[in-house]
Amino acid sequence: MMKVDSKEKILLVGFPSNGLVGMFSISYLIHHLKMNKIDEIQVKDIPPTVFVEDGKILAPIRAYSQNNLFVIVSDVPLDQFLAIEFVQAIHKFCKKYQIKKIIIVSGMETIHNQIKTPKIYGLSTHISIDEILSKNQIPKFLDGSIFGIDAVFISVFKKTKIPLLFLYAECNPYFPDPVASIAAITTLAKVLDVKINTTDIQKKIEHLRIQHRNLMEETTQTLRQQQEKHTRNPQIYR
């Protein structure tokens, strides 16, 4: 398993997607591991936005680190036009900090309305990273269509020497899904070989659903616009 204090530099990425799973998971990891903010990622066409947390003014896309673990989190949804610039900015970040592996956590729409134990699936751009899936008993993403920002990430990084792994959690695509986020956090902790207590997020499930309702509506609208540009809907992932 990979370790946070490994000599190999690892980048985690989270952004608003189905169920806000990626943003929830990565933000929770930042706070739980008490990571330090090291940079801000500039995407010039994002509407002027700042966030305030505990009296601190934060840019919408930020980078954090602890030892050799790096994290980039976006608090704003990114359409197909912003996605290209965002991914290019992350590629520059990887070269600047000599990143060796990337893991992206995201949500995956499922036909089941109520999932007690969401499943996690993995999709990698390089065969060298498939070992992570087998060691952690994570089934591979086998069939389906990928569009939007996920497709941009795959298209860019499969041409580089930096292997990229998507971890997809089954989720409700229309509402914030902290339950799916807990499953993603637990899986990510196994992959990174760190201990992460999810008690806090379990106690706040309903609060998180209400608190992030507006962001989920914006994200759903963005995803719908991207999906409409394709000739067919994504297949159910299995």
DSSP 140: B
pTM: 0.82
Chain-wide mean pLDDT for the chain?
A: 82
d(CA 60, CA 57) in angstroms, rounded, equals: 10
Looking at residue 220, its pLDDT comes to 66
Confidence of residue 65 (pLDDT cuts 50, 70, 90): very high
d(CA 81, CA 43) in angstroms, rounded, equals: 11
Which residues have CB under 8 Å from 73's CB, separation 6+? 13, 14, 15, 23, 26, 27, 30, 61, 62, 64
Instruction: Return the residue matching tokens 């379990």.
Output: 202
Which helix or strand (DSSP H or E) is residue 59 part of?
A: none
List of domains in the chain:
10-228 (3.40.50.10900)
Q: Which two tokens stand for residue 42?
A: 């500039």
At 126-150, the pLDDT tens digits run 998 889 999 999 999 888 778 888 9
Q: Which two tokens stand for residue 146?
A: 């990928």
CA dist list (Å): 217 to 14, 76, 223, 233, 234: 18, 12, 10, 19, 20
Q: Give the SS3 label for residue 138.
A: coil
d(CA 190, CA 208) in angstroms, rounded, equals: 24
At 224-238, the pLDDT tens digits run 665 555 544 444 332
Q: The sheet that has 36-40: what strands, in order across it?
A: 36-40, 61-66, 69-74, 10-14, 101-109, 164-171, 120-124
DSSP 86: H
Q: Which of 81-95, 169-183, 201-215 has the lowest mean pLDDT?
A: 201-215
d(CA 65, CA 189) in angstroms, rounded, equals: 16
